[in-house]
Amino acid sequence: MRIALHQMTSSIDPMRNASDMADAIARAAENGSAMYFAPEMSILLDRDRARARKYMADELHNAALQSLIAAAARHRIWVHIGSIPILDEGAEKLANRSIIISPDGVIAARYDKMHLFDVDLASGETWRESSAYIGGEHPVMVQTPLGLMGLAICYDMRFPDLFSAYAKSGVDILALPSAFTVPTGEAHWHILLRARAIESAAFVIAAAQCGMHEDGRQTYGHSLVIDPWGTILLDMGSAAGLAWVDLDLDSMMRVRKQIPVRANRRVIPSPFIAG
């Protein structure tokens, strides 16, 4: 099963980003891909929140999102838009939302990022995602041509309880669009994503932002596809572009027979404190 990953250096202009994505969706479909994957904050990456605010809208009134829905239907391909900032009706804050679009142009699933990145980095960078966003309340899975897909976004990957919940529910694919910083990417990106694939006996698909952005931030890149054995099938390096991978979905069953972590899983109670 062929998939396409779009590694982006998203700008502060949603319609420019959406146009780039629509072109990539067309190329993915022409190349025989069953599904297209974009990174976190694909249609707008701008840490100047006052400047970005004018583009915030709900799903129905988000012009960039609607253009991607149209592209999915036009080219008859499944589309994972990565994530975008969405103004939820009645909410005071935004949601960092993953959206899956089916080939008939219908939204098949929504997932709001559960874990928000609030940190002061040694590099001097400060991030306060919770000042503008509200975290999601629950994991989400959706049936796709690749199998049962569990949804997560970027910082979520550091919280294994989320992926344990997906594994217990029979997940086949973990989609993890991201916009990782360079210092944390160099230290943790590959090892964390390989661990998520191995412990879940599932494929990991992680489209990422890369390079120097208009808002002054730099992201790590290295969009990855990892098989259930932990083997890296694709690493896109640090440059923007579109890449293809053919997934051997039967390999998932072979790995699960060889190391039956799902069958051997135990319910873990609270730890006993000795003494």
Active site residues: 40, 113, 154
Shortest CA distance to 72 belongs to which of 98, 33, 41?
Answer: 33
Side chain identity at 142, as an amino acid letter? V
Shortest CA distance to 205 belongs to which of 238, 249, 165, 170?
Answer: 249
The Cα–Cα gap between 254 and 190 comes to 23
Q: Residue 164 has which token pair?
A: 């344990």
* Beta-bridge mates of residue 39: none
The Cα–Cα gap between 181 and 220 comes to 6
Pairing of strands 147-151, 173-175: parallel
**Is the separation of the CB atoms in 3 and 248 below 8 Å?**
no
How far apart, in Å, are the Cα atoms of 134 and each of 59, 93, 96, 115, 149?
A: 16, 6, 8, 9, 23
Shortest CA distance to 140 belongs to which of 124, 162, 122, 117?
Answer: 162
The Cα–Cα gap between 162 and 200 comes to 11
Task: Phi first, then psi: give them for residue 116, nearest 5 degrees.
Answer: -100, 140
Block residue for tokens 């008939």: 104
Please, what is the angle between helix 14-30 and helix 63-75, to 10°?
Answer: 10
